[in-house]
Chains A and B, each alone.
Chain A
């Protein structure tokens, strides 16, 4: 039996074809993973299935209803979590839950739906997603009076899921629920979904994490609005790593070519007294205190020339605060950082001139074109006017942005946006590169390509500091510092850390080391 049946579905937006003659069945009672590059049509597909979008052509039935015209019959059966979780940031945890319970007509005591759909096959016993249980399960009970906007990423995600699970929906749709969330929160989320649903529940889970998708009953790979694979992920590959390679192959394959970006990069120090510092990037007892709370404490490290240094840790561990202090955007309350030997607290501008920075969010000017953005950053980084046009042209060419140079940057797909951000960060040939979650929400192909450039740049002598939530990416780092509660709990090469945790994967290493640190603290 199928929860969703789709035949030859097409959906266009202006000139873009989001879904192209797509056919798909989603089996009842199974967890289906939806995998695809950015702009492949994942979100459009989810929205069409529940009637938020109307297809141009084709046949679609969800739970036997046509979502385009019977949306009101369908909504009581589904739980949908959009990408931004749909939480009201100015309401508290409990107020958000109450609101969604009211909107869904859910009984707060028992968690049952007041008006039960006659098609429902659930028994009374299974319907006990009460508030108490939700709060206990999400570990949000101590924070129930906190505003949703003041929660960390992982907690927001849990609250979003709790709101979605209210009323025991028979069909759960989650749109990239684990973007930008640390491995522990991701694991919790997965566990939460698996425990809260019953064998009858259908789950459709779109994700950029292939290890997640590998653990599902069914994997659906979507590319350019078409399904290119549908089936058991274990049939495709036995391990998550192989699965990732297979999926990349399905998407057209990734051919590792020498990085043009790195080839065109020429190492030079922009400003600095000592050209031969052993540590181009150095943190010296960095500390940030908010009141009596330490966001960052005794943070010291030295990154050698040409080294990729990864800063890992759960959401809210103080990674971003450290990052901001390192590039002079936040003032440390103690200690200092040096870039190319220049003290960031004494001469932040000079220190920064050696730095290329790629922020976590897309932070370019959306209404400017690709070329205009590059022009702007070239001038902001002090490239002389007479060299500017040539430099911008060269960088457009090297980064393969030629076809898009006159397009507004906000209209670019995420992968290209990210490439443009990197182009802007590298336009002045900085010897140091800071990357704050550069691959958050980026698909696997683009990530591969991105890391090819990063590792090639490091070989050219660029010193790189990077944060990420993708544990497979941590493997690219030469050294890793694991960060928790504002303090470094472990430093070393990926292999050293794995040995220390007696774990096989980086993911397990992360979880083990964090847990260990928690145990020693309590």
Chain B
């Protein structure tokens, strides 16, 4: 117990003296939350589109006007097609609506009238907005216009209620999701360095010649970084809920419990990488590509898992952040959904224990298979002439 306490104390001192761990745990979340709050926006946005009316008459003039009144659209009036082309090419407008010259004639006859909607396919999301906005504006106008009586009311009337996130505000799930990213960074990136550092600096060799046991080394790494992670989690939640007013509907106790499980799992990944590679540079590269990138890409935070190719859908199952992102989004937006809590908690526990067992197994108590042990590097830390006694 004395050994374990000593190792934990030592590690905590090292964490406190290493600015990078403080930056990752406290400064980085602040920056990322600000970016997610103000930088990234997946919501419907106001688009600018062009309008050209080839059928000028008082009725179509009201249609043009209704484009101008929409709260989703900025409309610019064009007289000829070429200007529209240049404007789209220069991205001044995201699309255009052209009212053909037989528009009102056809409507007056009770026929189907055509409306040309041009969209910019190089920005798929925006193209969808342009299309949807234009259609809905035209339909609203039609219902109110004098041709409205000519068309039948739709047989089905859609009444839309958006649950959990009524305003469809993407910040409500992206910002909590960023907590998962921070937790992953602390768990994987930070810890991927710590065992490797001991091997590189030769402190592991000295430690192995004392009475230290495997479990001391393993827990001596898990516990301090776990504490750091939980502190960072508290700070993150404070930022989300108090500063940025993201609604939280779940239970803080459950949030901390499941977050602990996730942290336990992520620490396992980082410590495994570090224990196996024993080289800081390699370990950080591997941690980035094996740990952090999948957390960003495959966790379902940015790209919905359902829309991934089947292979990747299955791949996400072994990625712990997937379970955590799923949990944290539901905990924030939906509140306590016990089935989701349980499912994710169980998966995280299983993965966490597997990784823990692997760390235990991969913690070498001897110098066998350690690249540094083979060709001893002489005295690269023995001489520090810059320093004065």
Give the Cβ gap from A206 to chain B, nearest Cβ, in Å. 10
Partner among B212, B379, B387 whose Cβ is within 8 Å of the Cβ of A179: B379
Structural contact, B380 and A361, CB atoms closer than 8 A? yes
Q: Is A136 an interface residue (CB 8 A)?
A: no
Name A150-184 residues within 8 Å CB distance of B.
150-157, 163, 175-176, 179-181
CB-defined contacts of A316 to chain B, threshold 8 Å: 384-385, 387-389
Give the Cβ gap from A49 to chain B, nearest Cβ, in Å. 11
CB-defined contacts of B205 to chain A, threshold 8 Å: 52, 82, 84, 86
CB-defined contacts of A75 to chain B, threshold 8 Å: 209-211
Structural contact, B202 and A53, CB atoms closer than 8 A? no
CB-defined contacts of B209 to chain A, threshold 8 Å: 50, 52, 75, 78-80, 82
Q: Is A516 an interface residue (CB 8 A)?
A: no
A408 to B198, CA, bound (A): 25
Q: Is B168 an interface residue (CB 8 A)?
A: no
Give the Cβ gap from A182 to chain B, nearest Cβ, in Å. 10
Name B208-229 residues within 8 Å CB distance of A.
208-213
**Contact bitstring A205-237, B, C-beta under 8 A = 1, else 0:** 000000000000000000000000000000000
Name A372-422 residues within 8 Å CB distance of B.
410-411, 413-414
Q: Is B381 an interface residue (CB 8 A)?
A: yes
Structural contact, B213 and A72, CB atoms closer than 8 A? yes
Structural contact, A102 and B13, CB atoms closer than 8 A? no
Q: Is A66 an interface residue (CB 8 A)?
A: no
Give the Cβ gap from A69 to chain B, nearest Cβ, in Å. 11
Given contacts A52-B208, A104-B210, A105-B2, contact A84 B382 (CB under 8 A): yes
Q: Nearest CB to that of B211 among chain A residues? A: A75
CB-defined contacts of A437 to chain B, threshold 8 Å: 383
Structural contact, B386 and A84, CB atoms closer than 8 A? no
Structural contact, A105 and B366, CB atoms closer than 8 A? no
The size class of the interface chain A forms with chain B is 35 or more
CB-defined contacts of A71 to chain B, threshold 8 Å: 365-366
Q: Is A83 an interface residue (CB 8 A)?
A: yes
Q: Is A88 an interface residue (CB 8 A)?
A: yes
Q: Is A319 an interface residue (CB 8 A)?
A: yes
Q: Is A76 an interface residue (CB 8 A)?
A: yes
Structural contact, A153 and B2, CB atoms closer than 8 A? no
Structural contact, A98 and B373, CB atoms closer than 8 A? no
Q: Is B368 an interface residue (CB 8 A)?
A: yes
CB-defined contacts of A151 to chain B, threshold 8 Å: 384, 387, 389
Structural contact, A80 and B206, CB atoms closer than 8 A? yes
Partner among B210, B367, B376, B386 whose Cβ is within 8 Å of the Cβ of A103: B210
Partner among B201, B206, B208, B385 whose Cβ is within 8 Å of the Cβ of A163: B206
Structural contact, B376 and A90, CB atoms closer than 8 A? no
Q: Is B374 an interface residue (CB 8 A)?
A: yes
Q: Is A43 an interface residue (CB 8 A)?
A: yes
Q: Is B146 an interface residue (CB 8 A)?
A: no
Q: Is B207 an interface residue (CB 8 A)?
A: yes
Q: Nearest CB to that of A173 among chain B residues? A: B209
CB-defined contacts of B17 to chain A, threshold 8 Å: 90
Name B88-123 residues within 8 Å CB distance of A.
none
CB-defined contacts of A52 to chain B, threshold 8 Å: 205, 208-209, 366-367, 373
Q: A54-B366, A361-B380, A440-B383 are in contact. List 13 more A-B contacts (CB 8 A).
A: A47-B367, A50-B209, A52-B366, A88-B10, A88-B14, A102-B3, A105-B3, A153-B384, A179-B378, A315-B389, A316-B388, A316-B389, A318-B385
Give chain A's interface residues, CB within 8 Å of chain B: 13, 16, 38-39, 43, 47, 50-54, 71-72, 75-76, 78-91, 95, 98-100, 102-105, 149-157, 163, 175-176, 179-181, 293, 295, 315-316, 318-321, 360-361, 410-411, 413-414, 437, 440-441
